[in-house]
């Protein structure tokens, strides 16, 4: 907390820290320094004996509270020692205070890591807040008069006196369009997020912020990668970048495991971890009873091929229903899918197995062109040159083969739905429009008052206004990549489905594909090296030849998903707590949704007819929003689950 008018309360900051004990069960600390009070909850990974933060420099003029990891801390430490600094710990946190002394705000540009931190400069009465390049670690702000509160999660800010959280109906419109708040927003009115790759300074002169890093692609037709046209040379460089990134993310004073989904990305990370010296790599995976979601065969094949000590946990529909409220509490945002819940429950198992750190393959799809959305956009742009061509539209049938109810199963309907409108072709976000329009169908569930409030709201247009000036000069795939990263990656995959679910059980996820050196290299690759025809992540597959089984390299992408609305119904009726939460009285009291529209959706779900994306997103979105309202606005957090973890199979 920071207040230049009156000293902040240490007791309040201690309450804020207690609200985050799941993020840091290994130590707690508070430091009061005039107008600033810093607090910290520690998850001890580097130098576990170093003690709790906040931590200072030699003369206690610079203090830091830090969440995350600095992977190049050893290299920075050596440089700072040569500059005359002395260190009291081996902890990566300490390079931040000494680095700030030597380099000032330019410190952030030297960091290789995932982080959110606050540095208090006592001599200058100056607070510096910073967040990592892609937003792996969260950082929120709330002003209350002259007082500024900042924390990794909103529930800590809710410990500040005199504030009752309330949901932002404006941000509901964003989440029910792009699945996530727009950058800088949160689900709560009056609460902001520090944007990825950004710094914010607060001192007696006020507040100012700037972006120190962003995704940048070459101009259309241009390349920045040194070996521009040689695919084998590019594949070799990609492998070198990824190997170095994995090696850095294995640095820890505690065991490091890995998630093994069965797909290419997590397999590449695990293979390179084994290749880089992780002799007995422990891997973890989720299994589902429904074959539409289960990837057990591929997981077991990979575990055997890589020689991993593998553990799998089977998730049922009942598990998802039982864990949903807790997942919403940790996500602190409405969810349109249940997919975060099994990942939270997997983190519980990983923690029980004695692991605090896991490597994952997240980010590969954004960086190297892996999403079906990118291929879908390529087909739609191809169709735009001959909108009535049936053979061009036939390419749609090659998309979404893993879906039991694929939107491309009926060729005539698919052609009508995906047919590009000529006037849309050059618009920013063109590639995302089918997904956004499908998601926005959920607005029909909003109450009449809310629909009226949002009538003029153009979320896609607002996003377009935020795009960098050079965006128009990028190629179509690069534009799609940038928007995907700016919305779904940072706002949903790394937050609701990533950091929040893992840290609910004190597990740190690490993401080798989101190393900024690798990302900058990949940004300069030709688009065809990312998607060759309709073969996604083509260059990664080429780079991993001989390191992964051919069956894995040839396997079509099956994105991680989980059962949705069906989990909340038993024998044709909703579970009791769902019926209570979605009753007409509850819906009217909250005011977000139309009881009649929700009642119709419930009837569809009871009958087992909610099989499309829009229905499932609508149901999960309504349920999670109502839970969020009850937990934060009404002050009824979920009961802490004390049951023992289910053993790994």
Phi and psi of 221, rounded to 5°?
Answer: 90, -10
Tell me the pLDDT band of 558, cut-offs 50, 70 and 90: confident
| Lowest-pLDDT choice from 127-131, 391-395, 616-620 | 391-395
Tell me the pLDDT band of 399, cut-offs 50, 70 and 90: confident
Q: What value, to the nearest 5°, has the Cα angle with vertex 111 and ends 109 and 114?
A: 115
Report the distance separating Cα 336 and Cα 530, nearest Å: 28
Report the distance separating Cα 195 and Cα 399, nearest Å: 33
pTM confidence score: 0.94
Q: Which two tokens stand for residue 466?
A: 């935020």
Q: Which residue has the tokens 């902001």?
A: 192
What is the number of helices (H) and of strands (E) in the chain? 28, 21
Report the distance separating Cα 477 and Cα 482, nearest Å: 9
For residues 462-480, average pLDDT: 95
Pairing assessment for the beta strands 256-259 and 282-288 based on DSSP bridges = parallel
Phi and psi of 195, rounded to 5°?
Answer: -70, 155
Q: Which two tokens stand for residue 453?
A: 């409030």
Tell me the pLDDT band of 541, cut-offs 50, 70 and 90: very high
Contact, 292 vs 565, CB < 8 A? no
Give, for 406, the enclosing helix (H) or strand (E): none
- For 584-632, the DSSP string reads HHHHHHH-SB-HHHHHHHHHHHHTT---SHHHHHHHHHHHHHHHHIIII
Is 231-367+486-554 the same fold as 2-211?
Answer: no
**Among the CATH numbers 3.40.50.740, 2.60.40.10, 3.40.50.620, 3.30.1490.20, which is that of 231-367+486-554?**
3.40.50.620
| Residue 221: predicted pLDDT | 67
| DSSP label at residue 367 | H
Report the distance separating Cα 439 and Cα 431, nearest Å: 14
- pLDDT tens readout for residues 314-370: 999 999 999 999 999 999 999 999 999 999 999 999 999 999 999 999 999 999 999
Tell me the pLDDT band of 222, cut-offs 50, 70 and 90: low
Report the distance separating Cα 98 and Cα 101, nearest Å: 5
User: Which of these, 13, 2, 35, lies nearest to 144 by C-alpha position?
Assistant: 2
Contact, 8 vs 147, CB < 8 A? yes
For residues 278-285, average pLDDT: 90
Pairing assessment for the beta strands 126-131 and 140-144 based on DSSP bridges = unpaired
Q: Is 2-211 in CATH node 3.60.20.10?
A: yes
| Residue 385: predicted pLDDT | 77
Q: At what angle do helices 231-249 and 264-275 cross, to 10 degrees?
A: 70
Tell me the pLDDT band of 251, cut-offs 50, 70 and 90: very high
| Residue 224: predicted pLDDT | 52
User: Which of these, 525, 443, 532, 431, lies nearest to 485 by C-alpha position?
Assistant: 431
Q: Which residues pair with 170 in a beta bridge?
A: none
- Going from the C-alpha of 208 to that of each of 56, 119, 201, 204, 418, the distances in angstroms are 24, 15, 5, 11, 43
The SS3 call for residue 261 is coil
Report the distance separating Cα 539 and Cα 541, nearest Å: 5
User: Which of these, 523, 463, 520, 513, lies nearest to 491 by C-alpha position?
Assistant: 463
Q: Which residues pair with 38 in a beta bridge?
A: 31
Contact, 593 vs 538, CB < 8 A? no
**Structural domain boundaries of the chain?**
2-211, 231-367+486-554, 565-633
- pLDDT tens readout for residues 193-209: 999 999 999 999 999 99
Considering the chain, what percentage of its residues have pLDDT values greater than 90?
A: 83
Report the distance separating Cα 217 and Cα 16, nearest Å: 40
For residues 410-418, average pLDDT: 71
**Would the pLDDT of 406 be above 50?**
yes
Q: How far is CA 244 from the centre of its chain?
A: 23
CB contact set of 222 (below 8 Å; sequence gap of 6+): none
| Residue 226: predicted pLDDT | 47
Contact, 343 vs 642, CB < 8 A? no
- pLDDT tens readout for residues 49-94: 777 799 999 999 999 999 999 999 999 999 999 999 999 999 999 9
Cβ-in-10-Å burial (0-12, 13-18, 19+) of 461 comes to exposed
Q: Which two tokens stand for residue 58?
A: 């030699």
Q: Which residues pair with 25 in a beta bridge?
A: 42
| Residue 642: predicted pLDDT | 47
Q: Which residues pair with 284 in a beta bridge?
A: 259, 311
Report the distance separating Cα 56 and Cα 305, nearest Å: 47
Average predicted confidence (pLDDT) for the chain: 93
Pairing assessment for the beta strands 282-288 and 309-315 based on DSSP bridges = parallel
**What residue ranges in 384-515 does DSSP mark as E strands?**
508-510
User: Which of these, 597, 461, 478, 485, lies nearest to 174 by C-alpha position?
Assistant: 461
């Amino acid at each position: 907390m920071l207040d230049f008018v009156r000293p902040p309360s240490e007791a309040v900051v201690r309450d804020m820290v207690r609200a985050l004990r799941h993020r840091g069960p290994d130590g707690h600390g508070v430091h009061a320094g005039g107008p600033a009070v810093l607090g910290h909850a520690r998850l001890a990974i580097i130098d576990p004996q170093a003690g709790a933060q906040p931590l200072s420099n030699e003369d206690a003029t610079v203090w830091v509270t830090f969440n995350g990891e600095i992977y190049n801390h050893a290299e920075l430490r050596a440089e700072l020692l040569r500059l005359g600094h002395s260190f009291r710990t081996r902890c990566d946190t300490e390079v931040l205070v000494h680095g700030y002394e030597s380099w000032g705000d330019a410190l952030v540009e030297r960091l290789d890591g995932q982080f959110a931190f606050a540095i208090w400069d006592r001599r200058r009465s100056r607070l510096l807040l910073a967040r990592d390049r892609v937003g792996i670690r969260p950082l929120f702000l709330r002003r209350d008069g002259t007082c500024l509160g900042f924390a990794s999660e909103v529930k800590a800010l809710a410990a500040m006196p005199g504030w009752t959280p309330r949901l932002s109906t404006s941000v509901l419109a964003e989440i029910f369009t792009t699945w996530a708040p727009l950058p800088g927003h949160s689900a709560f009115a009056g609460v902001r997020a520090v944007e990825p790759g950004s710094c914010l300074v607060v001192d007696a002169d006020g507040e100012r912020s700037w972006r120190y890093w962003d995704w940048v692609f070459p101009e259309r037709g241009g390349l920045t990668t040194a070996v521009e046209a040689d695919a084998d040379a590019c594949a070799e460089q990609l492998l070198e970048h990824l190997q170095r990134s994995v090696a850095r993310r294995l640095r820890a004073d505690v065991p490091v495991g890995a998630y093994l989904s069965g797909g290419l990305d997590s397999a590449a990370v695990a293979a390179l971890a084994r290749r880089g010296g992780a002799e007995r790599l422990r891997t973890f995976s989720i299994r589902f009873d429904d074959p539409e979601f289960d990837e057990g065969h591929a997981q077991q094949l990979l575990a055997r091929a890589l020689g991993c000590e593998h553990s799998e946990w089977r998730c049922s529909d009942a598990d998802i229903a039982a864990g949903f409220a807790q997942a919403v509490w940790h996500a602190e945002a409405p969810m349109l899918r249940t997919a975060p819940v099994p990942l939270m429950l997997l983190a519980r198992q990983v923690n029980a197995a004695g692991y605090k750190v896991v490597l994952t393959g997240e980010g590969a799809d954004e960086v190297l062109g892996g999403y079906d959305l990118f291929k879908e956009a390529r087909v739609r742009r191809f169709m735009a040159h001959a909108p009535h061509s049936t053979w061009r539209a036939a390419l749609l049938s090659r998309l979404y083969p893993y879906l039991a109810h694929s939107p491309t199963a009926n060729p005539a309907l698919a052609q009508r739905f995906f047919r590009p409108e000529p006037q849309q072709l050059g618009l920013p976000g063109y590639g995302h429009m089918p997904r956004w329009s499908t998601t926005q169908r959920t607005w029909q569930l909003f109450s009449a008052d809310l629909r009226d409030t949002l009538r003029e709201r153009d979320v896609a247009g607002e996003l377009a206004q935020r795009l960098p000036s050079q965006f128009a000069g990028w190629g179509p795939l690069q534009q799609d990549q940038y928007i995907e990263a700016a919305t779904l990656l940072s706002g949903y995959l790394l937050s609701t489905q990533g950091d929040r679910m893992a840290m609910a059980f004190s597990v740190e996820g690490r993401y080798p594909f989101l190393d900024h050196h690798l990302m900058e290299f990949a940004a300069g690759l030709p688009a065809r090296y990312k998607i060759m025809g309709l073969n996604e992540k083509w260059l990664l597959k080429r780079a991993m030849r001989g390191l992964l089984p051919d069956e894995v390299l040839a396997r079509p992408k099956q994105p991680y998903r989980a059962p949705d609305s069906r989990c909340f119904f038993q024998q044709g009726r909703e579970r009791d707590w769902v019926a209570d939460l979605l009753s007409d009285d509850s819906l009217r009291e909250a005011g977000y949704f139309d009881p009649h529209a929700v009642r119709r959706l419930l009837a569809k779900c009871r009958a087992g007819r909610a099989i499309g994306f829009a229905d499932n997103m609508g149901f999960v979105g309504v349920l999670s929003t109502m839970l969020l309202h009850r937990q934060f606005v009404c002050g009824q957090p979920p009961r802490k689950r004390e049951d023992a973890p289910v053993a790994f199979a």
